[in-house]
Structure 1
Amino acid sequence: MSSLTRDEAEARAALLAVDRYDVHVDLTGLLEGDTLRSTSTIAFTATTPGASTFVDVVADVESATLNGRPLDVGTATDGRLPFSDLEADNVLVVSAAQSRTDAGEGVLRTVDTDGLVYVWTTFEPDEARRLWACFDQPDLKAVHRFTVLAPESWTVTNNSAPDAVEPAGDGARRWTFAPTPPLSTYVTVVNAGPFHEVRRRVDGHDLGLYCRRTLASILDRDADELFDLTARGLAWFGERFAFPQERYDQVFVPNMGGAMENWGSVTHTDAFLARSTPSYRERSERANVVLHEMAHMWFGDLVTMRWWDDLWLNEAFASWAAAWAMAGATDFTDAWATELLDAKLMGYRHDMSPATHAIRGDVPDVEQAMANFDAITYDKGEAVLHQLATYVGEDAFVEGLRTYFAEHAWSNTVLDDLMSAFAAASGRDLGRWTSDWLDRAGTDTLVLEGSTLTATAPDGGEPRPHRLRVAGYSATPEALVPVGEVEVELDGAVTEVRLPAGDVHQVNAGDRTFAAVRGPGDPVLRARAGELPDPVARTLAVTTAWDGLVKGELRAGDLLDAVLGLVAAEPSPAVVEALLDRAVQAAELWAPLPDVPGLVARVADSAAALADSPAHRIPALRTLAATATSAAHLALLEAASSDDVDLAWRLLARRAELGQDVDAAAAALEPRDPDPEARFSALAVIASKADAAAKEEAWRALMVDRRVPAGSPRRSVIGRFWRPLQVEVLAPYAGRYLEVLDSFGSAGLLGSLGLVRGMFPYAVLDDDLPARATAAALRTGVSPTVRTALLLGADVGARMLAARRA
C-alpha cells in the first residue's frame, strides 16, 4: 500500500477540512469468520471546488458515493480511492470489507483457549484506513460517531460512552456511541468481545477495566491497584494541565505488543495482567505504561502534532510525564532510578549507533515515521525533556505546558508552538537550546578533571547547553558522606566549577541531563555505590560503569563487580530487579565465551543470597532460575517452585538448557497452569534445549508462523531460544534471521517490532555478523523499521565482540 508522504498530507490539509465521521462497523462476521465490514460517512469542506483528492482505504471497497454520485470502486488502488469534482461542502460514503483480521495490522481477531472470540483495533500511525475509509493523517481532525453491530454476547468499547445498546435481530446488538471531540483518526478505537468488565467511580472519575474471561480472576486481583493508580494519575495530570478526563476505560487484550493511547479508551497488552504474583518491578513497569498512555490524553490526543516529524513530542512527553507522575503521585517513588537503568540506557545505546538520528527528524512519509518508534524518540526524547525541565525550572515547564494545552486544545501544532510556551513561561530564549538538542544526533561527553568540566560533542561542533549538578562526598572507611552539591550551567566546551567539598565528586548528580559523564572519582563511586544516599545516585554510579563496558573501557567481570555489589546493598526492589537483569546480560553476552559459566555462576550465587529477602524474593528466584549452575541452586528452586507455576516453568527451562530430560515434567505441568498462554511456557522449555529439532520448532513458531503472542510469551521464548553456550546448534539461525527479515513490512507495528529487534542473534556473534547485518540493512527495499533494527543490532554486536576481546 502507498505510504502517505508529507507533501501529499500538506496538500490535502490545505484543500480539505473534515467536519465529521459517522462510522458504522459490522463485527458480526467475526464471530465465526474473518470479515469486518464498515460504512464510513465523511462530511468535509473543500477550499477549491472542482478539485481532486483521494481517501485512504486499505480494504475491499464495495461501494462509494460522493455527494450522492456513485464512484467507480475499480479505481481504488494502493490503499487509495481517488475522486474529483469536489464541491464546497461534501459528503463521501464508502462501504468496505476487511478480511485480513488475523495479522494485527490495524485489527486482530483472536480465538481464546475457551473458544471465545475477541477483536481489538490499533491505528497508529495510519492503520485506521485498514478498517474504514478516512483521511488518515493527524492534522485532519474531526468529530467521530461510531455505531457498531456486534454479536449479542459481546461488549463493545469505543472512545466515548455508549448512548444506546439495542437488540438488532439475528443474534446481534447495535451499540451507538456518543460523538467524540475532534480527534485524529489514529486515536480512534473499537474493541469487542465477551469481555469481563469491572467499573468503578473513583474521585469523580468513571473508570472501566476490561479483559478476556480467561483472565477475569487476575483482573479482579489487580483491580484495586489499577483503579487507585488510574485515579491518582488522572488527578495529577488534570490538576496541572486542566481538561480533566471523566470517563476513562482500559482494555487489556491478547497478543498485543504494547499499548495504544486511544482517547478515553486505552488498549493494553494483557501481558500486563501477570499470571503469577507480579514482582514490584512488574507492577512498576505497568504503572509506567498506564501513566504514559494516560499522558497522551493531553499530549497527542487533546493536542496533536501536525505531522510525524514531531512524533517525539507525543512519545517523549508521555514518557517524561509517566516517570514524573510515578515519582510524584504514586508509591513508585524510585521511578527516575529505574528509568535510568532501563529506558535511558537504551537511549544511550541507540544514540551511539549508526541508527541514531536527530530527535526532530526528517519524516518524508509515514513508513519512515514507523521506524522512528525507537529509543531516540521515546527514551532520549524523555531524557531531553527532563533536561529542559531542569534548564527552565519545573514550575515554568509545567506553566508552559498548561498554556500550550489551553491555546491549542483539539487542534494540531508544530514544535515552535510548544517551545514558545516554554520560553514565555521561563523568560529564556530557547532557540539555541532547541536546535542543539533536537536537531543534532549523538551524545555529549562531560569530563571532570580537577575543577574543570570539559564538554565535547560527537559531531565536532559546540557542545549542547547543559544544566546539571555536581555532588561531593567525603570518603571515610565506613561510608561515603554527602557534603554538598553545586549547580552548573554549561555554555561552551570548558567550564570552571566551584566544586563542593569532598574527596569524590559525582557529575550529573540527580541524573538531570543526557550525557556520558566521567570523573576521577568514578572507580570509588562504582565500587561503593551502595553507600550513596539515594537510588538515582547509586544507579548513576553503575550505569556510568555500564557505559564504560559498552565503550570498551571496562571488562564484563569488572562491571559485574559493581552491579552485584550494589545488588547486595540496594533496598529498592525495582532497582534490584533491573540490576539483576543487567548482571545476566553482562555475564552472558559481554564476556569472552570461556568466562561465561563462571560469571553466570556469580550471578546465580548473588541471586540465591537474596532469595530469603521478602522484598527481593521474586526477582531473586527468577534470576536464579535463569542462571542456576549447582545442585544447591536447583534444590532451592525446586522447593520454592512447588506452589509457583511460573517459577516451575522457569526452572524446567533452565534444566532443559543444562541438558536434563524435562519432557515428562513439562507435560505434567501444563494442565496445572491456569494461564491461557501456558502452551508458550512449554514452548520456552523446548526452545531452551541444545537440540536442532527443538530449536527448529521454536524458530518456526516465532519467525515463520508467528504464532507466539506479543508481550511476555514472546519475550520468554526469544530469551530461551538464544542461549549463549549453544553456539553450535544456533549458528545457522543468524543467517536465517537476516533472510527472513525480507518478509517483514512496516505494517503491524506493535507486533513486528518485538520480533525484529528481539531476535537479533547476539548469542552467536562472530567477526562477520555485524558487517553482514549492516549490508542487509542497506539493501534496496528494506523497510526503515527493519533497517533501524539491523543497524542498531550490528553496532551493539560489534561492541559486544570488542568487550569480549578486551
Structure 2
Amino acid sequence: MQDLPSLTRAEAEDRAALIHVDRYDVAIDLTSMLDGADFRAVASVRFSCRRPGATTFADAALTVVSATLNGVPVDKSRISIGRIQLTDLSEDNVLVVESVQSQTSHAEWVHRSVDPSDKAVYVWTSFEPDDARRAWVCFDQPDLKAPHRFTVTAPAEWHVVSNSADPIVTAVGNGHRQWAFPDTPPLSTYVPVIAAGAFHEIRSQRAGYDLGLLCRRSLARFLERDAEELFELTARGLIFFGDRFGFPFPQRKYDQVFLPDMGGAMENYGCVTWADSSVFRSPPTYNERRRRAGVLLHEMAHMWFGDIVTMTWWEDLWLNEAFAVWAAHWAAEAATPFTDAWSSFLVGGKLSAYAADMAPTTHPIRQPVEDVCAAVASFDAITYSKGASVLKQLFAFVGEEACVAGLRSYFAKHAWGNTRLSDLISELQQASGRDLDGWTAGWFDASGTDQLRLEAGEAGGHLLHAAGPNGMPPRPHRLNIGVYQRDESGAALVRRDVVSVETSGERTEMVDIGDAAILLVNDDDLTFASVRPDPATTRALLDSAHYLPSALSRALAVSTAWDMLMRGELPAADIVGVVVAVLRHHPADTLIEPYLSLVVDAADNWSAHPLRDYLLEQVADLCLELATQQPQQKSVIRALAETAITADQLTRLNAMADGDIDLQWRVLIRLAEIDTVDQAEVQRLVAQDPDPDAWIKALAVDAAKPDAQTKEAAWMAMVNHTVPVGSIGVIRRAFWRRSQGQILAQYADRYLDILPTLDRGGMIPAITLSAGLYPSAGVDEEFAQRAVAAAQSETVSPVVAKRVITSTDLLTRMLRTRAM
C-alpha cells in the first residue's frame, strides 16, 4: 500500500462537480475472520453524472475481485493501485465492486484483534481521513455525502454494531447470522463504522435516548464499574448540545464501543469508537475521569460539527477538531461535575499548543491542504488545542449569546451538507453585528503566538504592549487583567478588580488601576498569548502564585512560569518551586494531577544534571506530605513512584502501594529503573492482576531495566506493533530513562533508521510511534541536528517528519534549559 495515490484537492473538486452520490449499499462478510484475516465486501454505489459520457474514478485501496459499471464488467486495465477508472458514465450509474482487504492487523482502517486472555476475536473499522477506500469501494472525500446501508454476515456468537439503530438480525445457516441495518442519514465516507465480535454490552434508557456501552468480554467488570458515570455524562451531553445548537441529536440510539488495539477515539455517527485503554483497569483518578469525560464530549460534539455538518475539504479540518475540543470543555463546565475543565485545559492541552506554536513546524490554524496526505500531517496541537483556544477567544470577542445564536442558525441551514469556514463566520457576524473579516485573517491565517506585556505608562497608568510573532502586527485580543491585593492577614491574595481590555495594534492605554501586589495578564484565560506582568511583579507572581484565590488564576500563574521555562527565561528549579508551593498550599485542588505531571517533567527532564536528583527528591517529599492529607492519594502515589529516590522514600512508597495492583506495577517500574526489581514479584503480580493486558505492564517493567537484553525486547515490541498503539505511552515512558543515557544511546540512530517505515501502519500508528519512540535520553545537540536532517528526507512521510521536527525542538529547549 506504499504507492497509494493521495487524493488532491483539485481532483476532489473536479469529482464533486461531476457526480452526485445517491447511496451506498454494502454487504460485508466477516464469517472467515473468526480464524482468518480477510474482510470481504460487496459495495453497490449509485451515483449520477452531470455530464454523461465523462470519466472519473472510484477509490479502492484493496484487492478487487470483480467490478461492474452499469452491469458491464470494468476492464482490469482500469483497476490500479487505489483507484478504479470509470469511463463513459451515464446520467444514472451503478458501480458494484466485490473486494477483499487482507491487511487487517495494522490497528487502522480494518482491524482484526484476538484477545490474548480468552482468544475472542473482534473486528472493527476506522476511516479518518480517507481509509474507507481500504474497506470497500467509495468516493472517499468529505463532500460526497450519501446514505449508507450495511448488511453484515458474521459468526452467530458475535454482536455487530454500526451507525444505524434497530438492525434486523436473522440466522442464515452454517453458524452465522446476518445483521441488516437501516439507512444512515447522508454521511461522509469517513464516519460510517462496523464493529463486530464477542462484545459485552450494557444499555440504558436516558433522556429519550437508547444508550449503549460495549467492550470485549474480558473487560466487562471494569466497564460495569464505570457505566453509570458514562451513561450520565452521555445523556447530559446529548441534552446540552441539542439545546445549545437548537438541533437535538436526531437518532435515538447512541453507542460507544471500546475496542482492542485502537488508538484514540473516532466520531462515527451514532457509534463512537474508543481505544479500550479508556476502560480503566483500576478505579480511575479524578483526572482520568475528567479526561475521559472530555473525550466523550469531544466525540459527541462531532455528531453536529463534522457528521451532520461536514467541512467541504480538509483545509477546514482544524475547525472540525478545534470546535470539538472547545465544545467539550464548554459542555463539561456547563453540564457535568467537571466544572474545572478550562483550568485543566490551560495546564494541559493549551501548554502543548504553545509548545507547538514555538516549533519550526508551526503553521497557521487555517492553511492550504493540497492533498489528503498533507491533511494527515495537520493533526497536531495547533489544529486541536490552539484552534480551541482561539474559538474561546472568539466567544469572548463576540459574546456567548451571539455565538449560540449563530451556531443555531448554522446548523439549521446546513444540516446534512458541507460547509467552509466562511459559512460559520457569516452566521456569527450576522448574530453579533461585528465585522469578523480582519479578526479571522489575523487569528486563522498567521502562525506563531503574540506576546502581551504590561508596562508602566507615562502618566502613572499602565500600557499593554502587544507584539506579533516574527515582526508581524499583533492580533486583536479581548482579555481581562486581574488586580490582586493582599488580604488583611497578608496570607492570601484577593482580586480587587478586573479590567477588561480589547486591544488593537501594539499599544493599548489603560486607566490607572492603582497599587497592586500582582497584575495578572489574561486573567480568566480568555485569549491565546504569551503573557507577562509588568517587570516589577513578575517575580512576585512566581513567588506568590500559591496565594492566588482561584484554581484558574493559579493555573494561569503556573502556565506563565512554564512558558518562561520553555523560552529559556526560567530554570527548572524555579518552576519546581512554583508548582510545589501551589500544591502544598492547595492539596485538595482538582488540578493536582496535571500539576504533578508538570513538576515531575520539570525535575526529571528539564533540570541541570547536578540538580536532577535533588529536585526529584523535593517532589517526592511533597508527594509523601500530600499522600497523608488529601483525597487524591492515588494520583500522588503515582507521582511518588516516578520520583522516589532515597531509601526512605522507596520504602514508604512500597508500603503505600500495598493492596493496589496499579500502584504496585508503578513501584516495580521504578525499582526496575534503579535495577533492584525482584522478577518473582513481577510474575506474582501478573498472576494476580485481573487485567487481560497485564503482560504490557510486565513489559514496561522490563523496559525500565538498565539491561541491554530487556531494552532490546521492549524496543522490538514497540517497533513491530506487538504493543497495541494505545499502550505505546506506557512502554516508552519506562524505556526512555534519563538515568540510563549510556545504554540507550544506540537507539538514537536506530530511531532515525526506521523513520521511513513508521507511516506504513496508517495515521494513528505513524503519529504515535514517531512521537513515542523519539529519543529523550542519551542524546545531545548533535543528535538533534541529525534528526532534523533525517526528517527532511524524501523517504519520510510528512506526518512522521512533522513529529520528529517538533520533538527535536522540544529536546533542544530541554538541553538549553539544562545548561542554565
TM range (shorter): over 0.9
Q: How many residues align?
A: 804
Q: Is it true that 1:533 corresponds to 2:544 in the alignment?
A: no
* 1:159 alignment partner in structure 2: 163
Contact 1:468 1:488 in 2 (8 A): yes
Match of 2:782 among 761, 768, 776: 768
SS at match of 1:560: helix
What is the distance in 2 between the residues matched to 1:481 and 1:244? Answer: 42
The structural deviation recorded for 1:572 is 5.3
Contact 2:587 2:626 in 1 (8 A): no
Q: Please list, as runs of the form range in 1=range in 2, the aligned pairs for 1:654-693 lying within 5 A after superposition.
A: 654-693=670-709
* 1:701 alignment partner in structure 2: 717
Deviation track 1:552-588 (CA, whole Å, cap 9, x = no partner) reads 1000001100011111123555411001011111111
* 1:110 alignment partner in structure 2: 113
* 1:80 alignment partner in structure 2: 83
What is the distance in 2 between the residues matched to 1:663 and 1:585? Answer: 28
Deviation track 1:206-258 (CA, whole Å, cap 9, x = no partner) reads 10000000000111101100000000100110111133223210000111110
Contact 1:573 1:615 in 2 (8 A): no
* 2:237 alignment partner in structure 1: 233
Contact 1:281 1:573 in 2 (8 A): no
The structural deviation recorded for 1:592 is 1.6
Match of 1:343 among 345, 349, 373: 349
What is the distance in 2 between the residues matched to 1:4 and 1:658? Answer: 50
SS at match of 2:523: coil
* 1:18 alignment partner in structure 2: 21
What is the distance in 2 between the residues matched to 1:48 and 1:773? Answer: 50
* 2:423 alignment partner in structure 1: 417
Name stretches of at least 5 consecutive residues in structure 2 with no aligned partner: 457-461
* 1:472 alignment partner in structure 2: 483
Deviation track 1:31-55 (CA, whole Å, cap 9, x = no partner) reads 1100010011011100110111111
What is the distance in 2 between the residues matched to 1:408 and 1:66? Answer: 32
* 2:226 alignment partner in structure 1: 222
* 1:283 alignment partner in structure 2: 289
The structural deviation recorded for 1:747 is 5.0
Q: Please list, as runs of the form range in 1=range in 2, the aligned pairs for 1:80-479 lying within 5 A after superposition.
A: 80-113=83-116, 114-245=118-249, 246-450=252-456, 451-475=462-486, 477-479=490-492
* 2:528 alignment partner in structure 1: 514
Bigger mean CA offset, 596-605 vs 345-354: 596-605
Match of 1:554 among 570, 587, 593: 570
Letter of the structure 1 residue corresponding to residue 107 of structure 2: G
What is the distance in 1 between the residues matched to 2:93 and 2:80? Answer: 22
* 2:646 alignment partner in structure 1: 630
Deviation track 1:105-161 (CA, whole Å, cap 9, x = no partner) reads 301110002110011111000000000000000000001111001110011110001
What is the distance in 2 between the residues matched to 1:748 and 1:180? Answer: 26
SS at match of 1:38: strand
Match of 1:491 among 504, 517, 528: 504
Letter of the structure 2 residue corresponding to residue 767 of structure 1: E
Match of 1:616 among 628, 632, 635: 632
What is the distance in 2 between the residues matched to 1:752 and 1:286? Answer: 23
The structural deviation recorded for 1:661 is 3.7
4+ runs of 1 displaced by more than 3 Å? 571-574
What is the distance in 1 between the residues matched to 2:95 and 2:767? Answer: 35
Name stretches of at least 5 consecutive residues in structure 1 with no aligned partner: none
Contact 1:208 1:250 in 2 (8 A): yes
* 1:751 alignment partner in structure 2: 765
SS at match of 1:296: helix
SS at match of 2:603: helix
The structural deviation recorded for 1:639 is 2.1
What is the distance in 1 between the residues matched to 2:98 and 2:311? Answer: 29
What is the distance in 1 between the residues matched to 2:513 and 2:196? Answer: 60
Bigger mean CA offset, 470-479 vs 132-141: 470-479
Bigger mean CA offset, 632-641 vs 362-371: 632-641
**Alpha carbons of 1:22 and 1:49: their partners in 2 closer, same or farther (altered >3 Å)?**
same
Contact 1:280 1:573 in 2 (8 A): no
What is the distance in 2 between the residues matched to 1:182 and 1:606? Answer: 55
What is the distance in 1 between the residues matched to 2:261 and 2:167? Answer: 30
Contact 1:284 1:574 in 2 (8 A): no
RMSD: 1.1
SS at match of 1:146: strand
The structural deviation recorded for 1:630 is 2.0
Q: Is it true that 1:51 corresponds to 2:54 in the alignment?
A: yes
* 1:725 alignment partner in structure 2: 739
Match of 1:580 among 596, 611, 614: 596
SS at match of 1:378: helix
Letter of the structure 2 residue corresponding to residue 232 of structure 1: R
* 2:748 alignment partner in structure 1: 734
The structural deviation recorded for 1:29 is 1.3
Match of 2:12 among 9, 17, 20: 9
What is the distance in 1 between the residues matched to 2:232 and 2:219? Answer: 20
The structural deviation recorded for 1:297 is 0.3
Letter of the structure 2 residue corresponding to residue 79 of structure 1: G
Q: Please list, as runs of the form range in 1=range in 2, the aligned pairs for 1:19-34 lying within 5 A after superposition.
A: 19-34=22-37
What is the distance in 2 between the residues matched to 1:511 and 1:603? Answer: 27
The structural deviation recorded for 1:162 is 3.2
TM-score where L is the length of structure 1: 0.98
What is the distance in 2 between the residues matched to 1:244 and 1:401? Answer: 13
SS at match of 2:389: helix
**Alpha carbons of 1:29 and 1:67: their partners in 2 closer, same or farther (altered >3 Å)?**
same
Letter of the structure 2 residue corresponding to residue 456 of structure 1: A
* 2:40 alignment partner in structure 1: 37
SS at match of 1:595: helix
The structural deviation recorded for 1:626 is 1.2
The structural deviation recorded for 1:656 is 1.0
* 2:725 alignment partner in structure 1: 710
Contact 2:766 2:800 in 1 (8 A): no
* 2:74 alignment partner in structure 1: 71
| Percent identity between the two aligned chains | 50
The structural deviation recorded for 1:756 is 1.1
Letter of the structure 1 residue corresponding to residue 529 of structure 2: A
TM-score where L is the length of structure 2: 0.97
The structural deviation recorded for 1:748 is 2.1
SS at match of 2:150: strand
Bigger mean CA offset, 780-789 vs 497-506: 497-506
Contact 1:746 1:785 in 2 (8 A): no
Deviation track 1:629-670 (CA, whole Å, cap 9, x = no partner) reads 122222222222221111111101111111214211101110
